[in-house]
Chains A and B, each alone.
Chain A
């Protein structure tokens, strides 16, 4: 063992022969003539950098100056630029340019062999290596699992039931941003409204709706959604089923002839949902229709939910088709 260590040391040291760094005159860096003009230029650049540098605190303290951010950036940026220019002049004109050679380092077969042997011989007393490695790996895995377990406290990793939940159920009133109830008469054609469930947390994907009105004759809802759109008023989840952005475009009626149907469009990836047919995807990446909320018009003309959405709200996941939306 001791011998091997000495051998290793000798190999290590033997490799480090210093190559001569000094030339015949005893200089390390070759000589060169002076360059007064370059020196003057560097002085000038440092001077300019000094002026710009000092300008920064002046601008900072000068409250009345317009566009302070721009001037601050200009002062600091120019100061850095002048120092940079000075460095480059020094590198190109004032410092002796040398071209040195050096050997690319290679591998060290002797050391590699010694290392291999070292490990090999260190393990020579073990008789059941495979079993020991296996046992060690088992212990390591268990330890790793133990150390990772606390991470499960970050969130409800095994409980995805809340993904199906929305605040909507029969009878909940639709209100606007200020909490005022929507009436059927408020809803006009060719525009869209954002509605929320009354008295519910709005910062959840199940909450916001887009509400639009079509000619009742233009509706082509599936048979099981008859009566979901009283007077032609339709409500859909405002959250795109593709990537969870809020739908913020209503394509009606100014689009060219190739894109004729009134449709809701998500501004993130342009998933486009046909409002007349119950939220079917007619363009873009979304893989599921936009969930529709059944509506009813209450006594005073107020809009209310007549149930929950036609499907889970928000982006898709492995279980999105397993259940409907739940209260």
Chain B
């Protein structure tokens, strides 16, 4: 049987040598190498559940009156987009399961990418020859953020409309060309032309997923072409990679992870409510809900938008930089610029142009680790500032006092993190030297 299949495939593709190599391809083993796989499998779940959702969703802003069985919305005018999503959630069997799983998978997808990025950064895996792989990964992160935003924006519930208003305003705020770009993208002043909905839809269900899928392929091809990095070991060196072969060792493990990711996502989708859009109601320009929070991965932008004090940069009557630019566009652009530039910057400063197949432990590169911790602390404090209104509701802390505190902490804490991290790394390294010497001395009498 196996011989028959193998022969059939080889005769038609000539692929036997390739498969023989591929099945014995070596995967180095470390738990942190699985983070990217979690993102990959979340993407698979996203595509699967997403295809199901497209079969019920109507990407149209045409007004309809709700006559479904959810009483609070009866008789309300809403868009077909919102109505079809409410219908999918409340009347289509398994519809809510699929929609909630899709939403949870989006949150997990971005989270897995971010944690994966942290792993890559702090172990120095982005160094030559894998810098290109790293850039592609960063590009996928930006696209994943856009994709998530487009996804919860097409529903046209109250929250998604507010998110779009903010997105429109941020685009408007780009110096010199913002208003023109916003008119182009929205097809007119907010809330835009009716076509905007179907354009956003095709971006969400076709254009971005196909681009992300293509980049995933490229990313994985590059990983395979240079082999995975590894931590140093008795046999694991810069020249030799040591690990488990694809088959039979690695395949069931990875398959186990794939099913585990699917299990967690469907359990969450079934048991933990997310974005109950029938409670928000349809979007109208004149309406907003209090205490609105976006999906977690946009929290850093909300935080940045809220932290910036009141000012527009003007030259005479000309508004050079409207306020929303700083938090909504300038901040994320700067963050991604730093991340994209980091491999080059590090090469410049250290003069290290060599190949690196062995990973650093974070302590092995104290400066990189310290700067990285400071940088991500900075972003994290901004992210927390985005939750200040929740902290007001939960703990009664004055919102304005919190924002003033955050405006200070956001600059102080990264510096503290930098100094502490650097010191911890150096002490850990020094401790290792002492330990090695002690072992040497103890071994001598014997």
Contact = CB atoms under 8 A, between A and B. Distances in A.
Interface string B278-292: 000000111111111
Contacts of A97: 244, 249
B267 A100 contact: no
Given A242-B323, A258-B400, A203 B311 contact: no
Interface string B146-184: 000000000000000010011011101101101111111
B97 A69 contact: yes
Interface string B176-220: 101111111111111111000001000000000000000000000
Contacts of B188: 155-156, 162
Contacts of B178: 317-318
B176 A246 contact: no
Contacts of A317: 172-173, 178-179, 182, 319, 322
Contacts of A234: none
B282 to A, nearest CB: 11
A60 B249 CA distance: 37
A154 B185 contact: yes
B288 A267 contact: yes
A142 B129 CA distance: 36
B241 A207 contact: no
Nearest to A313: B189
Nearest to B308: A285
B242 A101 contact: yes
Contact of B245 (A100, A154, A316): A100
Interface residues of A, number: 92
Contact of B241 (A101, A239, A283): A101
A83 to B, nearest CB: 5
A262 interface: no
A243 B24 contact: no
Interface in A219-243: 238-239, 242-243
Interface stretch (B110-118, B258-266, B331-339): B258-266
Contact of B262 (A80, A243, A246): A80
A196 interface: yes
Interface in B292-320: 292, 302, 305-312, 314, 317-320
Interface string B243-281: 111001110110111111011111111110000000000
Contacts of B311: 287
A270 B389 contact: yes
Contacts of A83: 259
A11 interface: no
A70 B94 CA distance: 10
Contact of B287 (A81, A248, A287): A248
Interface stretch (A88-96, A131-139, A300-308): A88-96
Contact of B26 (A101, A238, A271, A319): A101
A278 interface: no
A296 to B, nearest CB: 22
Given A155-B184, A160-B183, A268-B162, A244 B168 contact: yes
Interface string B219-246: 0000001110000000100111111110
A80 B256 CA distance: 9
Contacts of B25: 102
Contacts of A87: 252-253, 255-256, 259
Contacts of A70: 270-271
A172 interface: no
Interface string A296-327: 00000000000000000011111111100000
Q: Please provide the 9 A-B residue pairs with the shortest distance between their CB atoms, ordered closest to farther.
A: A73-B270, A287-B312, A87-B256, A208-B286, A77-B267, A315-B169, A84-B259, A316-B322, A80-B263
19 contacts: A73-B100, A77-B263, A78-B263, A80-B266, A87-B255, A98-B244, A99-B244, A102-B241, A155-B188, A207-B286, A243-B166, A246-B286, A248-B287, A258-B398, A268-B288, A287-B323, A315-B173, A316-B173, A318-B176
Given A243-B170, A248-B289, 20 more contacts: A71-B270, A77-B270, A80-B260, A84-B259, A87-B256, A91-B256, A95-B252, A99-B235, A104-B226, A104-B227, A104-B357, A152-B184, A154-B184, A157-B183, A165-B189, A208-B285, A243-B165, A287-B310, A314-B189, A321-B317
